[in-house]
Amino acid sequence: MRPIQWIALVTLAALPLVTSADVKQATPDSLLIQGSRNLQATPAKAYAAIADVAHWWSGEHTWSGDAANLSLQPQAGGCFCERWKDNSVQHMQVLWASNGQMLRLQGALGPLQGMAVQGVLTFTLKPAGSGSTLQLEYRVNGVASSGLDKIAQGVDGVLMEQLDRLQRYADTGKADKL
């Protein structure tokens, strides 16, 4: 994450806490963010879209500034990584991969990584008519001095942006707003 993004996240955290349906819990030592989207894509197609992270994750929320540098190996032990020039970052590691059903990753995204907190991000897919329902859950735990409640809204904003982009990509093949 570039310095300007970190400043924006800290600024968002300093704003009065506004209730968001996506932040389910926010305490100094933990946060829970959940979101759900109805997709036109089947669970198998949506799962493939999740794994194609370089096409839907926003470059604004990468360390390199370019989502094309992202990759995700959807298998246990696989890496959600970013590589550019002489740099590389492991954002998360795959804990559980069940094609068309669930992808669970462990790691602390963005500035959370430097806070030495633990995070688990789960994408769950369920058939819904001719499409699917995609659920995202991100659980983060640390110590009380982590102040996770102060940054929960900023983390929520970034994740919900990514969830919206993923929905568009799974349904249309393009992550940007049409």
Residue 178 in any domain: the answer is no
Please check the confidence at residue 18 and state whether its pLDDT lies above 60.
no
Single out the residue of 66, 38, 11, 28 nearest to residue 170, CA to CA: 38
Domain ranges, residue 111: 3-172
Residue 148 in any domain: the answer is yes
In this prediction the pTM is: 0.88
Between these two residues, 17 and 37, which has the higher pLDDT value? 37
Residue 115 in any domain: the answer is yes
Please check the confidence at residue 17 and state whether its pLDDT lies above 80.
no
Q: What CATH number has the domain bearing residue 105? A: 3.30.530.20
Residue 127 in any domain: the answer is yes
Residue 155 in any domain: the answer is yes
**Total tally of structural domains belonging to the chain:** 1
Looking at residue 21, its pLDDT comes to 56
Instruction: Record the tokens describing residue 86, joined without a space.
Output: 């002489």
The DSSP symbol for 40 reads S
Provide the CB-side half-sphere exposure for 116 (13 A, CA): 3
Please check the confidence at residue 146 and state whether its pLDDT lies above 80.
yes
Residue 158 in any domain: the answer is yes
